[in-house]
Amino acid sequence: MTETLRLSQVPVSTLAAFMEACAAHPSSDTGAIASFAGFSTGTAKRALPSLETLKIVERGEDGVYRTAAQGVRRGMGADAASLVIRRALQGFRPFEMLCEGLALGESAPVAMRKTALLLGIDEAGLEVLLRWGDDLGILEYAENSAQLVPELQASANGTAPTLSAEDLESEAKARLYNARGLGRETNNYLDEIDRELLASAVLTHDANPRKSVEDSGQALEDFLREVASEKGLASEAAKANGIEQLATLLYSQSVIHGHHQKVAAGLSAARNATAHRKDKKTMSPWAFTPLGAFAVHSTTLALVRSIHDYTTTGRQVL
């Protein structure tokens, strides 16, 4: 049975108006929210479920619509509002998977079909996501078909994206870069928390290498715990501390290969170095370079993909 996405084709500017209305005038009365936003109740019935689906707005047990995304306020400019919606869209798994398909050279119809099948959702709402992507400058239409804008396509195909914290394209570039490294099936296996951690690891590897290493390490630890849980080892994993102990547990139960365990131990050592301001032996802290942080991130991607392949298909690829 497929899930139907609660998405309706309304302009991004309309979504922004209702988003701001929920921040400035939270209410359980759809008509009151619509009045504040300057639209009809009929438009509210299309815009609010869409914002809920994107997790920009949430409806509490009391029936009141409130904003769930950060940075939403009354009087925010169009650019700031678009940024909030863009970030939500980039973190919305169906849209992210559509972009992955387009980055792999699939046509929009093929990317929509595969996304719907992989996620078990109705294909109908995916065209709405493509139109929003176009409105927000993530996608563009050529010959009536959606495709990634050139700068994002280049990042998806390149070896390492050029990123800056101020660049609106940065998070999209980071996510596409990671998706290409992980592969579609492995990236889909991860949850949004860990995909966000890995995107952060790319974004911060130059400006804050220590944080980048920690983010990569946390994503890897989360992944190993998920693998352990799937293999019936949740109680044992709960007693394990960190990457190395989890990898040792999985190896001892023949879930992963010995090479996986050794690579994980190396990544664990790097992550542990970020946790201690002073090394136990030298009593001096470890400094991290952008190159070192990027190497940890790249190795994490390779290891996560390798373990996922090994545990699902038996393939041995590093």
CATH number at residue 269: 1.20.120
DSSP-assigned letters across all residues of 215-249? HHHHHHHHHHHHHHHHTT-HHHHHT--HHHHHHHH
Query: Is residue 222 situated within a structural domain?
Result: yes
Q: What is the pLDDT of residue 275?
A: 73
**76, 104, 123 - which closes a domain:** 76
Confidence of residue 276 (pLDDT cuts 50, 70, 90): low
Query: What's the mean pLDDT in 146-163?
Result: 67
Query: Is residue 256 situated within a structural domain?
Result: yes
Which secondary-structure segment (H or E) carries 250? helix 242-252
Is 239 a residue whose pLDDT tops 70?
A: yes
Report how far residue 192's alpha carbon sits from residue 187's, in angstroms, rounded to the nearest whole number.
10
Q: CA-CA-CA-CA torsion for 192, 197, 203, 206, nearest 10 degrees? A: -170
Query: What's the mean pLDDT in 195-202?
Result: 94
Confidence of residue 166 (pLDDT cuts 50, 70, 90): very low
3 by DSSP, 3-state: which? Answer: strand
Is 156 a residue whose pLDDT tops 70?
A: no
Q: What is the pLDDT of residue 168?
A: 42
Is 13 a residue whose pLDDT tops 90?
A: yes
Query: Is residue 6 situated within a structural domain?
Result: no
Query: Is residue 169 situated within a structural domain?
Result: no
Confidence of residue 163 (pLDDT cuts 50, 70, 90): low
Q: What is the pLDDT of residue 165?
A: 44
Q: How far is CA 316 from CA 169, 188, 252, 311, in A?
A: 34, 20, 18, 10
Q: What is the pLDDT of residue 157?
A: 58
Indicate whether 309 and 190 sit together in one domain: yes
Q: Quick check: 126 and 113 in contact, CB under 8 A?
A: no
**76, 102, 118 - which closes a domain:** 76
Confidence of residue 172 (pLDDT cuts 50, 70, 90): confident
Indicate whether 70 and 192 sit together in one domain: no
Is 92 a residue whose pLDDT tops 50?
A: yes
Q: Taking the model in full, what pTM does it have?
A: 0.74
**76, 96, 115 - which closes a domain:** 76
Query: What's the mean pLDDT in 162-190?
Result: 78
Q: Quick check: 157 and 198 in contact, CB under 8 A?
A: no
Is 1 a residue whose pLDDT tops 70?
A: no
Query: What's the mean pLDDT in 152-170?
Result: 55
Indicate whether 188 and 306 sit together in one domain: yes
Task: Give, in degrees to the nearest 5, the angle at Cα 19 between 89 and 54.
Answer: 30
The count of structural domains within the chain is: 2
Query: Is residue 127 situated within a structural domain?
Result: no
Indicate whether 188 and 316 sit together in one domain: yes
Report how far residue 123's alpha carbon sits from residue 314's, in angstroms, rounded to the nearest whole number.
32
Query: Is residue 119 situated within a structural domain?
Result: no
Type of residue found at 214: E
Q: Which domain holds residue 203?
A: 183-318
CATH number at residue 34: 1.10.10.10
Is 161 a residue whose pLDDT tops 70?
A: no
Look-up: residue for tokens 């047990």?
61
Long-range contacts of 67-75 (CB under 8 A, 24+ apart): 67/19, 67/22, 67/23, 69/19, 72/19, 72/20, 72/22, 72/23, 73/20, 73/23, 73/24, 74/20, 74/23, 74/24, 75/20
Query: Is residue 83 situated within a structural domain?
Result: no
Query: What's the mean pLDDT in 85-93?
Result: 93
Mean pLDDT of the chain: 90
Query: What's the mean pLDDT in 10-19?
Result: 96
Is 86 a residue whose pLDDT tops 80?
A: yes
Q: What is the pLDDT of residue 36?
A: 96
The full length of the chain comes to 318
Query: Is residue 45 situated within a structural domain?
Result: yes
Query: What's the mean pLDDT in 86-99?
Result: 93
Report which of residues 164 and 283 the model is more confident about. Answer: 283
Query: What's the mean pLDDT in 283-305?
Result: 92
Report which of residues 14 and 166 the model is more confident about. Answer: 14
Is 164 a residue whose pLDDT tops 60?
A: no
Q: Quick check: 217 and 270 in contact, CB under 8 A?
A: yes
